């Protein structure tokens, strides 16, 4: 779906982001843009007097965040004379389409995306460095770090996210269970049809959602050294085997608490209907829980160590092939990196903000924010190294097979062997 923002729309919405143009810092541009005499000028030096009439920025954005980006784009159009074309895409399709289209000279100037894509995007040569502008010190450091690769900033962050335990307060109260066993017992005592449910993405498997449980066994996906991920697989050995046994014991040939019959929508329906007392989900699912009272807490430990979820960061990337790299940086640094725009993004799709001063009370579920923040504080960054892209198929398939009843140690160890061989190949 394409939305072209015209001057009429800009005039109608300019009041929303009246103070959006705040000035920017030094802009880093693509090779094609740097050939222009003005490309090395800072965004703040250029944006106040820029006349971009006749120039077009194409931005890929998903449905949830389109209205917020649309508002910033309208003000940008009014003040610069540029045209912004928003292309609405399914978030799940953006990474692959960006990697495929940018090298051919197609694709957008700017796209929304996740930080864990960064390794693949850099390896594919499809992203440019960005400038955070005058409000650079308003961004959380962990979010900036997540968008940084080899010392260069390749994305403008706007939100962080982590999954957490969500519990039906009418069934189990609001106290956080300390362990997996405590949680299950609370769920059983509640009389719910299911004490616990978790999305396994059906038979595909979902290592992301199960990761805090895996981490509680001390089995990280990759080994870390000095805070950075290496390419050495870290989820093998005794710790990985213990987690695999846990999946089997609670899978379809065990307790049945974890099942490949549960996909994202089914999981949310079970929790919203009160059939399930606890679930593990992210803030993006809260809109599905309209018929149930709930609270959010950190995920309890199943293996004795902290149940650390992946912490993800979402933000904006600039195409390495953009013919308007400077203009794209001006849009981001002066029209997105502002309190009003960041507030609008939060209001449109309430994820943990990566920008200081965002009022989280405006969200439909402000009380849940503290629980997700507590979970994120226990979390670990999602690896953005290129090798992470090779992990998912092996990892998810092994988890799914074990949940369905395959031998846990044999299946898990084969996954480690196959994954390691693929990474070394």
pLDDT of residue 107: 95
Residues 209 and 156 in one domain: no
Residues 240 and 304 in one domain: yes
| Residue 333 counted as domain residue | yes
β-pairing, 56-61 vs 83-88, is parallel
Residues 182 and 82 in one domain: no
| Residue 186 counted as domain residue | yes
pLDDT of residue 22: 30
Give a three-class secondary structure readout of 193-220: CEEEECCCCHHHCCHHHHHHHHHCCCCC
| Residue 269 counted as domain residue | yes
CATH of the domain at 47: 3.40.190.10
Residues 273 and 284 in one domain: yes
pLDDT of residue 6: 38
Residues 298 and 410 in one domain: yes
Residues 302 and 318 in one domain: no
What is the number of domains present in the chain?
Answer: 2
Residues 99 and 200 in one domain: no
Residues 362 and 296 in one domain: no
Residues 270 and 328 in one domain: no
What are the pLDDT tens digits along the chain (425 aa)? 444 443 333 323 333 322 333 333 333 333 333 323 233 233 444 445 589 999 999 999 999 999 999 999 999 999 999 999 999 999 999 999 999 999 999 999 999 999 989 988 999 999 999 999 999 999 987 788 889 887 789 999 999 889 999 999 999 999 999 999 999 999 999 999 999 999 999 999 999 999 999 999 999 999 987 667 889 999 999 999 999 999 999 999 999 999 999 999 999 999 999 999 999 999 889 989 999 999 999 999 999 999 999 989 999 999 999 999 999 999 999 999 999 999 999 888 878 889 999 998 877 787 898 899 889 878 888 988 889 889 999 999 999 999 999 999 999 999 999 999 999 98
Instruction: Give kind and range of the element (H or E) at residue 353.
Output: strand 352-353
CA-to-CA distance for 247 and 256, rounded, in angstroms? Answer: 10
Which residues share a beta bridge with 148? Answer: 153
- Report residue 84: phi and psi, to 5°: -115, 125
CA-to-CA distance for 113 and 92, rounded, in angstroms? Answer: 10
Helix residue ranges per DSSP H, 21-138: 31-34, 43-47, 66-80, 91-101, 118-123
Number of residues assigned to the chain:
425
For the chain, how far is it from start to end, CA to CA, in angstroms? Answer: 40
| Residue 254 counted as domain residue | yes
| Residue 57 counted as domain residue | yes
Structural domain containing residue 52: 2-161+313-368
pLDDT of residue 363: 72
pLDDT of residue 48: 55
Residues 60 and 123 in one domain: yes
| Residue 375 counted as domain residue | no
Residues 217 and 339 in one domain: no
Residues 270 and 154 in one domain: no
| Residue 377 counted as domain residue | no
Which DSSP letter does residue 192 get?
-
> Which residues neighbour 273 within 8 Å (Cβ) at sequence distance 6 or greater?
291, 292
Helix residue ranges per DSSP H, 303-387: 325-331, 339-348, 366-377
| Residue 8 counted as domain residue | yes
């Amino acid at each position: 779906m394409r939305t072209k923002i015209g001057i009429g729309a800009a005039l109608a919405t300019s009041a929303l982001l009246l103070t959006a143009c705040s000035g920017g810092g030094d802009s880093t541009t693509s090779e094609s843009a740097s050939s222009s005499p003005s490309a090395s000028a800072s965004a703040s030096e250029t944006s106040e007097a820029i006349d971009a009439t006749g120039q077009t920025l194409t931005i890929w954005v998903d449905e949830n965040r389109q209205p917020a980006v649309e508002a910033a784009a309208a003000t940008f159009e009014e003040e610069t004379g540029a045209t912004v074309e928003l292309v609405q895409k399914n978030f799940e399709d953006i990474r692959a389409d960006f990697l495929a289209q940018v090298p051919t000279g197609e694709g957008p100037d700017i796209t929304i995306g996740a930080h864990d894509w960064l390794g693949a995007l850099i390896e594919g040569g499809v992203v440019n460095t960005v400038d955070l502008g005058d409000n650079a010190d308003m961004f959380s450091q962990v979010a900036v770090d997540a968008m940084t690769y080899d010392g260069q900033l390749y994305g403008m962050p706007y939100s962080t996210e982590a999954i957490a335990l969500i519990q039906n307060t009418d069934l189990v109260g609001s106290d956080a269970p300390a362990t997996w066993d405590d949680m299950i017992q609370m769920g059983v005592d509640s009389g719910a049809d299911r004490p616990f449910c978790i999305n396994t993405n059906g038979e595909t498997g979902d290592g992301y959602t199960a990761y805090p449980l895996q981490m509680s066994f001390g089995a990280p996906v990759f080994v870390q050294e000095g805070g950075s991920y290496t390419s050495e697989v870290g989820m093998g050995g005794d710790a990985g085997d213990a987690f695999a046994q846990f999946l089997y014991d609670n899978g379809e040939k065990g307790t049945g608490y974890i099942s490949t019959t549960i996909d994202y929508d089914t999981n949310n329906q079970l929790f919203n209907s009160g059939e399930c007392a606890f679930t593990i989900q992210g803030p993006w699912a809260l809109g599905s829980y309209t018929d149930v009272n709930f609270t959010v807490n950190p995920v309890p430990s199943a293996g004795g160590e902290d149940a650390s979820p992946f912490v993800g960061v979402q933000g904006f990337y600039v195409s390495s092939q953009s013919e308007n790299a400077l203009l794209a940086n001006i849009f981001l640094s002066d029209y997105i990196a502002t309190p009003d725009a960041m507030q609008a993004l939060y209001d449109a799709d309430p994820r943990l903000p990566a920008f200081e001063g965002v009022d989280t009370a405006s969200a439909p579920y402000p009380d849940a924010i503290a629980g997700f923040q507590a979970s994120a504080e226990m979390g670990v960054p999602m690896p953005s190294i290129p090798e992470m892209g090779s992990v998912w198929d092996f990892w998810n398939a092994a988890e799914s097979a074990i949940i369905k009843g395959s031998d846990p140690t044999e299946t898990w160890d084969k996954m480690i062997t196959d994954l390691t061989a693929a990474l070394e190949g």
